[in-house]
Amino acid sequence: MKIAINTGGGDAPGLNAAIRSATLSAIRRGWEVVGIRNGYGSLYSDTPFIPLTRERVRGITMLGGTFLGTANRGNPFEMPYQKSDGTWDLEDRSDEAISAFREHGVEALVAIGGDGSMRIANKLSKKGIKVVGVPKTIDNDIWGCDVTLGFDTAVTTATEAIDKITTTAESHQRIMVVEVMGRYAGWIALHAGLSASADAILIPEIEFSIDSVVEKISEREAKGENYSIIVVAEGAIEKKGERFVKGKVIGQAEQLGGVADYLAKELSSRTGKESRSLVLGHLQRGGTPSTYDRLISLRF
């Protein structure tokens, strides 16, 4: 049998461990394994697949990122193209992807990715490709999955960052607003905020009220606690407000961000206290995977 392995969407700690485990498990069965580079991007090139051997995956378990490369664009069902008038639109090029699998004798796909990648894999399966999905995302938001690979490392990174910013907040008697990733799910904010003893945690699942946050800060001030830590998920929404979006690129999901800066300014205005915002951003997706993420990646 010949199988292909793909990593799509945002990178996450543990991807290389999953690639190694899937490759070695297949080789032990006498199967041939190939990798798809840069999401599904290489399917539209002259060399759509690269051979995956014992030598190629040796020593990669502890490495962050994915050596196959990944991409947030390149959905075979919604490929961006430029029209004659210079504007951009989307087209379905999935048949070309299916042809690449057939022409190279690939019988099944191991799709390692998040919710977007799983949707693509599901569509490919409906077009005849045999698929095994491996749930990967620091956001931990894949339906039917308790814990995704990459989540534990991201939460640990976020917790350590909040711990460090807390000492500065206390020293300067400031309000610190820390924005974490998670898109439309609050798992990172909730876990990191609780473990770092944040004073308020704002998540997409519950619309927030600035008045409630101000009230919490005032309660702390009354107790002589002259600093506060606010953890907010990038997809959090104020009551009767809209999600904070930095931009939108055709063929990609909307880019979230800006809620921490907004909160810091509002809280400073309403409380009279100095406030600062910190966006952890892509720092949460990088680095060496934790022990838990290495093990769950290998098990997947």
Which is catalytic among the residues 139, 141, 199, 293? 139
Catalytic site residue 115?
A: no
Helix (H), strand (E) counts: the chain: 9, 13
Work out the angle at residue 6's Cα, subtended by the Cα atoms of residues 250 and 95, and round it to the nearest 5 degrees. Answer: 60
Ramachandran angles phi, psi of 256, nearest 5°: -85, 155
Complete DSSP assignment for 26-95 = HHHTT-EEEEESTTTGGGGSS--EEE--HHHHTT-TT--S-TT---S---TTSEEEE-TTS-EEEE--HH
Which three-class secondary structure state does DSSP give residue 107? coil
> Cα dihedral angle (183, 151, 160, 158), rounded to 10 degrees?
0
| Residue 128 DSSP SS3 | coil
* Residue 6 contacts residue 113 (beta carbons within 8 Å): yes
Would you please indicate which residues are annotated as catalytic (active-site) residues?
139
